[in-house]
């Protein structure tokens, strides 16, 4: 409860006082600083365990709902709760003072006040009724969990290698190291809540820093293939900068190069831009635009004949599309559908798009050598998701060129 109700800025305040006490002789130190740091350390461990427990519960409910759907069964209806009115008759209508079904934020006052009864005791969380969607203010389905550790950093906002190792040790002390998955975000809440400060990503073996080559607030590192996660998996978990809300992603489009070359067009596009004075103008620009389709693998024919079950009576795992050079990762079904690729209408941007699809376009004079460095190959996988144009089943991405690199 302390980890949920305590404001996030309190963690950095306690951590700063704890670090400042290192310069004071041990006999003159305030014991409350040490006890406060220990309490917050235990709170973050418990918070992380609860979040991972909620993820397991959400996935269990989703798998059971999928199994019922495959069998053609419908979940039982949720019984309506009755209340006794002032005239003594039972009524199935909800109370006017009923709170909204939308899950409040853990840091909001409505969460800390609305989740307590009149006697001041916290109410127990009620289990989800059969057939209802999983709801929790701490975890959302198909979103990255934001786990917490409390590691005060003597080096300030930037975590040193020693601090990162201590964050991994904290996860081990919390007993969740074996429950982590690739793409889980771990936040050292002791260093602050500005941008993505203190946020690390689990790559399957270690915690790694964010990439700051194309954004001042940080983006996902290039070691994580974006296609392995839903398009909105890191939305609001890894924050974007104030200048652009389009996150940087790393996508290898070379497997669909032939389709991209066949659908390539040079088009005029109208873009609404805002001047420093606040005026809005429509600007016409030329863009190279193409598209390709990520098709879901066909289902097993035997499972289709048996109503979605295999010969053993079990629901088989669906076929998946492997991601090349990703150590056994697969394309997430959230990417199934049309992917629109866009770049500038210049010759340089066209050449860059052709280099991202080796072998799909005819060779051009003065082109790059066939054997490229690994760093150059990684730069050809950098795109931005255009959130204002994307929708379910149609994701828009824009190629990010070397000129947009900060350093």
Q: Provide the residue ranges of all domains of the chain, joining segments of one domain with +.
A: 2-63+138-209, 249-404
Torsion angle defined by CA atoms of residues 7, 163, 213 and 246, in that order, rounded to the nearest 10 degrees? -30
Mean pLDDT of the chain, nearest integer: 81
pLDDT at position 287 is 95
Which tens digit of pLDDT belongs to each residue from 373-386? Answer: 677 888 899 999 99
Lowest mean pLDDT among 63-72, 73-82, 112-121, 207-216: 112-121
Q: Model confidence at 4, in pLDDT bands (50, 70, 90)?
A: confident
What are 383's two structure tokens? Answer: 């795109």
- The pTM score is 0.78
Burial of residue 396 (number of CB atoms within 10 Å: 0-12, 13-18, 19+): buried
CA–CA gap between residue 209 and residue 188 (Å, rounded): 12
CA–CA gap between residue 344 and residue 353 (Å, rounded): 10
Q: pLDDT higher for 272 or 36?
A: 36
CB contact set of 183 (below 8 Å; sequence gap of 6+): 144, 201, 202, 224, 228, 229, 233, 234
pLDDT at position 241 is 80
CA–CA gap between residue 17 and residue 30 (Å, rounded): 10
Q: CA-based angle 397:382:371, to the nearest 5?
A: 125
Which tens digit of pLDDT belongs to each residue from 132-188? Answer: 578 888 999 999 999 999 999 888 778 899 999 999 999 999 999 999 999 999 999
pLDDT at position 53 is 96
Q: pLDDT higher for 29 or 174?
A: 174
Lowest mean pLDDT among 64-68, 177-181, 250-254, 289-293: 64-68
* Strand, coil or helix: 148: strand
Q: Are strands 185-188 and 146-149 parallel, antiparallel or unpaired?
A: parallel
From 232, 315, 332, select the one nearest 65 (Cα to Cα): 315
Q: Model confidence at 301, in pLDDT bands (50, 70, 90)?
A: low
Residue 245 has pLDDT above 50, yes or no: yes
- Mean pLDDT within 58-72: 87
**Would you say 134 and 128 are in contact if contact means Cβ atoms under 8 Å apart?**
yes
Q: CA-based angle 236:40:191, to the nearest 5?
A: 50
**Would you say 394 and 258 are in contact if contact means Cβ atoms under 8 Å apart?**
no
CA–CA gap between residue 126 and residue 86 (Å, rounded): 27
Lowest mean pLDDT among 12-16, 113-117, 142-146, 394-398: 113-117
**Would you say 167 and 186 are in contact if contact means Cβ atoms under 8 Å apart?**
yes
Beta strands per DSSP E along 98-149:
146-149
What are 123's two structure tokens? Answer: 């109410």
């Amino acid at each position: 409860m302390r980890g949920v109700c305590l404001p996030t800025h309190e963690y950095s305040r306690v951590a700063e006082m704890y670090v400042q006490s290192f310069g004071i002789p041990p006999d003159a130190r305030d014991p409350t600083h040490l006890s406060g740091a220990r309490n917050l350390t235990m709170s973050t461990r418990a918070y992380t365990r609860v979040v991972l427990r909620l993820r397991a519960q959400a996935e269990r409910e989703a798998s059971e709902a999928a199994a019922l759907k495959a069998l053609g069964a419908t979940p039982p209806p949720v019984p309506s709760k009755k209340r006794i009115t002032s005239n003594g008759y039972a009524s199935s209508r909800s109370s006017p003072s009923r709170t909204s079904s939308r899950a409040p934020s853990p840091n909001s006052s409505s969460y800390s006040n609305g989740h307590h009864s009149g006697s001041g005791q916290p109410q127990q969380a009620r289990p989800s009724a059969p057939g209802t969607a999983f709801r929790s203010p701490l975890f959302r389905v198909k979103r990255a969990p934001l786990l917490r550790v409390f590691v005060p950093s003597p080096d300030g906002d930037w975590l040193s290698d020693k601090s990162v190792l201590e964050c991994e040790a904290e996860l081990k002390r919390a007993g969740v190291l074996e429950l982590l998955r690739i793409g889980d975000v771990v936040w050292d809440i002791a260093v602050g809540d500005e941008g993505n400060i203190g946020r690390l990503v689990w790559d399957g073996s270690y915690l790694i820093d964010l990439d700051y080559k194309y954004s001042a607030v940080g983006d996902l590192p290039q070691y994580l293939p974006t296609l392995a996660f839903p398009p909105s998996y890191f939305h609001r978990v890894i924050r974007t900068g104030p200048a652009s809300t389009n996150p940087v992603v790393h996508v290898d489009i070379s497997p669909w190069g032939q389709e991209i070359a066949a659908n390539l067009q040079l088009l005029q596009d109208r873009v609404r831009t805002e001047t420093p004075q606040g005026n809005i103008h429509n600007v016409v620009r030329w863009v190279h635009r193409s598209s390709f389709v990520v098709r879901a693998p066909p289902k097993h024919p035997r499972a289709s004949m048996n109503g979605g079950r295999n010969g053993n009576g079990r629901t088989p795992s669906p076929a998946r599309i492997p991601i090349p050079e990703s150590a056994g990762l697969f394309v997430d079904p959230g990417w199934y559908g049309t992917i629109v690729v866009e770049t500038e209408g210049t010759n340089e941007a066209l050449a860059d798009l052709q280099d991202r699809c080796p072998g799909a376009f005819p060779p051009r004079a003065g082109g790059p050598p066939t054997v490229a460095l690994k760093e150059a190959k990684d730069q050809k996988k950098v795109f931005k998701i255009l959130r204002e144009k994307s929708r379910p089943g149609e994701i828009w991405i824009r190629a990010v060129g070397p000129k947009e690199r900060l350093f």
